[in-house]
Amino acid sequence: MQHISVVTPEYAARRAMRANSDCPQLWSTLDTVFDPELPQVTIWDLGILVDVQQLGARRCKVVVSPTYSGCPAIDVISEDIVSALNSAGVKQVEVAVSLSPAWSTDLISPAGKAAMLSQGIAPPDKSVNCPQCGSEHTSVISQFGSTACKALYKCNDCLEPFDYFKEF
């Protein structure tokens, strides 16, 4: 079975940076923003929420890093960030998209991997286990799944097809 509780050094560094932030309420507000292609995974848990900076009483800057440079969901994510922060009383929100350093699956939190698994998506791991039955006996059907971040697999034991969130 997959080890979704493993904390990578990259995620640990993100968690420490967030814990030392001077605007914890903004981070908490952004915990309500979900990836539109993974509706149970927050942008924090997916690892694309890079930084939040308070610029004044009602201004902030949010930095996000898409899962890949052509990600079509980044516009929706940016709109959802602005909407969530506006609803929390932040009137001016700048959303910056950063491609450097590049996003990596090592940034996904254990909660994000667990949420993927609960949606029937195999989270990134060294082995691709079936999210339905946990079998390690899986095979790739296509390197291209429902989104560019996923591949399509099938379980050779329970015969169920499933998406695998590719390692980057």
**Looking at the 3D structure of the chain, how many domains does it have?**
2
Backbone angles phi, psi at 106, to 5 degrees: -65, -15
CA 127 from centroid of its chain's CA atoms: 19
Residue 62 included in any domain: yes
Helix (H) or strand (E) holding 150: strand 150-155
Tens digit of each residue's pLDDT (9 = 90 or more) over 67-80: 988 888 999 999 99
On whether both 100 and 29 belong to a single domain, the answer is yes
pLDDT at 45 over 70: yes
Which domain does 154 fall in, by range? 120-165
pLDDT at 16 over 60: yes
On whether both 66 and 134 belong to a single domain, the answer is no
Residue 115 included in any domain: no
Residue 74 included in any domain: yes
**Closest residue by Cα to residue 162 from 111, 113, 123:** 123
Q: What tokens were used for 130?
A: 């079936």
Give mean pLDDT, residues 14-24: 96
CATH value at residue 14: 3.30.300.130
Q: Any residues with CB less than 8 A from the CB of 57 and at least 6 apart, and which?
A: none
Residue 65: the pLDDT is 96
Residue 17 included in any domain: yes
On whether both 41 and 89 belong to a single domain, the answer is yes
On whether both 99 and 126 belong to a single domain, the answer is no
On whether both 66 and 147 belong to a single domain, the answer is no
On whether both 32 and 59 belong to a single domain, the answer is yes
Residue 137 included in any domain: yes
